[in-house]
Structure 1
């Protein structure tokens, strides 16, 4: 096995321009995004008063995954994330399956985020706005990752300001009631399902690892950036969940179509609701921007290994970005956003991403045979499998079928090559 995980001789490399701050912001742009505006309601519906326990479980699994990913990214600082780690540590098939899970699951997430933008900006023309958002952000990514990082920094600042105002208004209002934070009566199944749904919002730290080929001093930068981004996101999510629960309660939060807008109305400040809606749209744009970055880099790595068409491995000679992969992602996401209903995308995406991280943890397990070094990847692997199968049945069924189709395609390709 190679230790670099780098691209093959003759491939054009990507430009290393991102420092720790840029990498942290890129991760935050994925995590502190539309998930916090959308995932709280279905999670509260699943767990009821156990929402905060679900958040804690999701955070523990995310921490294990982040730690495993950081260890691997320091050794294999190439584009592709767990696609590269699985290939190098477990074998070609597992790397391919990780890449397949990521590309399919996150492409669905891209469409969901685009439609979220449309729903908040112009509900009557959500599909048209979604397509326009995809086209615009694909153009931004085409211009170079540094421009994308700059835009993400602005988006994160706006979203954090909006979320801070929600927390202050809710916790400072007379409507806040600490008794609504009780976790009594929560079922284990509901808590685990909520954790699986909330994991969708935590999974953004993967973007840092998938940008490994564009980070300066990756062996130092990536292990620092991933836990920093995850820690900040956890603090933000916990504060927002506490604030929303304190004024709406589990039942009110679980039935809310726009939970944070409803929370500020319940807190007696309805004038803040339009600001929250605008923040949700900006957050979804930030998530979409980072998702397209991550999916296109994984496609680049898979195309280099000929698991996807080799043309997708092209890097722009001027901007040094995988422009064909970015355009391919943009085209597919735009088509989905224009034609499909992606209400179940969160569950489907969570299943794919949990499968992706299960392979990351299995890869990290092989790094060091010492039992103490294997605790974190073991907990992460068990957590990923448990949460994946705790998701709604439709999400599990569709996700399993998609993984099986990917595995079959790999087997057919290998059989054809052998002949």
Structure 2
């Protein structure tokens, strides 16, 4: 049965949900692999800037499209309305698959900080607990996310203060060793950290006054996340340097330790676990809403389109997403999930920018920049991620053709 979802979010709640997804994912997961790809402090900051520019283009495309089409599903809806059913399907497919990998990465981050010897068990438990929370209603999720974001920002502020106050002297030059491929690969990995604003767009059917709320919430969430990322990156780089950052599995705790603030190490560990939980909460929420929208249009099993009569949430979609994430979290590798997730999310936003192109000439320059940026960063990712992601996209085309009962149309 299909039904309308309750509109419960204002601007503040929408911003907090975006921050809950972005801050945890980027700070505690993506900085190390990006530093390894680029090889210098200045290069890492340059990559961060490139990722932010692409994210801004995507944010503006998503905001304008969400205001025009305020329905649950994000770019799945936009692609279908603006470009045709295949592109909408591929957007939803890429989002669900890529963000399932993100969910697993966040769950494993919780396990790594809470109980490293049994990280997979803790990861699965975290998925089960947060799926149950989302099942109980979106208002409870928004309240918990607000608390999580406040705690994480406080911990990150302490790391920045300790790191910069330690007087680290590691230089941040661009360096002769920089390569275009290295900078772009780092930017693609860091883009993983900026993808949280998608949670706002996929909640288009659950925000009040979406034409006003979404365009305000998206750039606010992105701007706050960028400022946090830049401050933390500079702090970590000046204390550890790019080489130690690239080798560190827990760079923020290593920063506190190297800065002589051993008291902060357990606080950062708790903050990392809380941040990952915040990201996981928002990610499960967003993936389940896209799954719900696709099921409502018979692009996924229609049984997943049911809305709970009491809690007014897509409960079957949430349970299905939670079950799949739990299985992946029980078997996946954290770093391997990042590149795969980034590829899927960049495909998703590439389709968003192509959809925004159709909104009129005034939107086209930013949409073209965003589309070019998504394509460039996607194919600059590690080869394994590109091959796996391309295979998943191809499988999506086949699945779409089967669901429509016809052959794949020839390329135009």
**TM-score with structure 2 length normalisation?**
0.97
Moved more, 323-332 or 372-381: 372-381
Structure 1 unaligned blocks of 5 or more: 1-9
Q: Does 1:272 align with 2:258?
A: no
1:42 aligned onto 2:36:
no
Residues 34, 116 of structure 1: 8 Å contact kept: no
Candidates 330, 338, 344, aligned match of 2:330: 338
Aligned residue for 1:358? 350
- Checking the alignment, whether the CA contact within 8 Å between 1:58 and 1:196 is kept in structure 2 is yes
Contact 1:348/1:399 (8 A) holds in 2: yes
The one-character-per-residue Cα deviations of 1:50-74 (angstroms, maximum 9, x if unpaired) are 0000000000000000000000000
CA separation in 2, counterparts of 1:341 and 1:350? 15
SS in 2 for 1:212: coil
Alignment of 1:291 onto 2:283: yes
Superposed CA deviations along residues 197-242 of structure 1, whole A, max 9, x for unmatched, are 0000100000000000000000000000000000000000000000
1:2-401 alignment runs, 5 A limit: 11-49=2-40, 50-174=43-167, 176-177=168-169, 180-185=171-176, 186-368=178-360, 370=361, 372-401=362-391
> Structure 2: how far apart are the matches of 1:159 and 1:180?
27
Secondary structure class of the residue paired with 2:2: coil
Cα distance per residue 1:234-259 (max 9 Å; x no partner): 00000000000011111111111101
Q: Note if contact 1:46-1:191 (Cα within 8 Å) is conserved in structure 2.
A: yes
- In the TM superposition, residue 414 of structure 1 has moved relative to its aligned partner by 1.7
Aligned residues of 2:163 and 2:256 also touching (Cα < 8 A) = yes
- Separation in 1 of the partners of 2:358 and 2:407? 29
Cα shift at 1:196:
0.2
Equivalents in 2 of 1:268, 1:292: separation in Å? 37
Cα deviations by residue, 1:302-349 (Å, 9 ceiling, x for unpaired): 001101000000000111000000000011111111233343100000
Query: How far, CA to CA, are the matches of 1:68 and 1:336 in structure 2?
Result: 31
Q: SS of the residue aligned with 2:263?
A: helix
The answer (yes or no) to whether the contact 1:38–1:259 under 8 Å persists in 2 is no
Measure the CA separation in 2 of the matches of 1:260 and 1:228. 25
SS of the counterpart of 1:77?
coil
The alignment of Structure 1 onto Structure 2 pairs a total of residues equal to 405
Give the 3-state SS of the residue equivalent to 1:181 in structure 2: coil
> 2-side partners of 1:339 and 1:56: how far apart?
33
C-alpha distance in 2 between matches for 1:267 and 1:224: 38
Aligned Cα root-mean-square deviation (Å): 1.2
Contact 1:180 1:250 in 2 (8 A): no
Distance in structure 2 (CA, Å) of the matches to 1:340 and 1:61: 28
Contact preservation (8 Å) 2:75, 2:351: yes
